[in-house]
Amino acid sequence: MASKNTGVYSDKAKYTNGYWNKIQYWTTKLNEAVEAGNLRGVDSAHRKLDYFIGREWDTNPKMLG
């Protein structure tokens, strides 16, 4: 019987280097949306940044100090 791929990964496996790359990516997207005057894009990128910054705080206590 073949194993079933559920598509579910743990955060540890998916983001072994933390969330910094995602933070950089969404910061770029935020800046692009600001330059374009795209409020919906700004809002979307801001929400993503808020999420990934929170995850970085939660998973990387070295950043606290």
| Residue 34, in any domain of the structure | yes
- Number of domains the chain is built from: 1
| Residue 33, in any domain of the structure | yes
| Residue 1, in any domain of the structure | no
SS3 letters for 1-65?
A: CCCCCCCCCCHHHHCCCCCHHHHHHHHHHHHHHHHHCCHHHHHHHHHHHHHHHHHHHHHCHHHHC
Q: What is the pLDDT of residues 5-50, one digit of tens each?
A: 555 555 555 777 789 999 999 999 999 999 999 999 999 999 999 9
| Residue 43, in any domain of the structure | yes
| Residue 24, in any domain of the structure | yes
* pTM over the 0.85 mark: no
| Residue 10, in any domain of the structure | no
User: In terms of residue numbers, what domain contains 33?
Assistant: 18-64
